Amino acid sequence: MLKLKVNKADMILYVVTDRTWLGKSSLLEQVEDIIKSGATFIQLREKDLSFDEFVKTAKEIKSITDKYKVPFIINDNVDVAVAVDADGVHIGQSDEEIKTAREKLSAYKIIGVSAHSVQEAIKAQQNGADYIGVGAVFNTTTKTDANIVSLEVLKDICNTIKIPVVAIGGISKDNIIKLSGSGVDGVAVISAVFTQLDISKATRELLQLSKQMMNAQ
């Protein structure tokens, strides 16, 4: 029987950080507010920081996720994940990336992999992924070159693989319910939280809507 390293409950509201919209609060303060408001999983996504700055930020965020016992992973950068002893990493599709990540991380760490088709999801599971991020399920401003994954493909992926599946890409409080019946274990959001004036309220609303969406499966 497949032993999951990620509880499906951890996927309900998976929040990916974005410092683009930092206001008066620091990223650290925002992450703590988001976790206290119901975020169940945190991914640190930093595209422009140097390695040392990334590590410094990751250590700060990890102190918060450890405090609240929320899984914490790093986007793309396996070396940063190793340096801060994060719970894992989220990477792209390449076989070599999964293999290399597993060699650098311990067997007990989480590896999440992006997938855009049933074939990619199956391959990622076979190569040792612990969960799949499927998207973009809606148009997104975060990745302007992202191709849209249809609801039917999302359903097929959820029905085919055994590891948890989280939907990502353009998800907001206005469209999340459209994912009902897809079989996903939760949603990953960025701008739906970080662009809001009240990120705590936005997080609480999204958590409620994600649960509502999954209850309608």
Torsion of CA 187, 188, 192, 193, to 10 degrees: 110
- Catalytic residue from among 37, 62, 109, 114: 114
40/211 Cα distance (integer angstroms): 12
- Catalytic residue from among 45, 59, 173, 204: 45
Is 45 part of the annotated catalytic residue set? yes
Amino acid present at 88: G
Sign of the C-alpha dihedral, residues 79, 137, 163, 8?
positive
**Cα separations in angstroms, 100 against 91, 105, 113, 127:** 11, 8, 13, 11
- Catalytic residue from among 99, 143, 178, 201: 143
Q: Are 107 and 122 in contact (CB under 8 A)?
A: no
Active site residues: 45, 114, 143
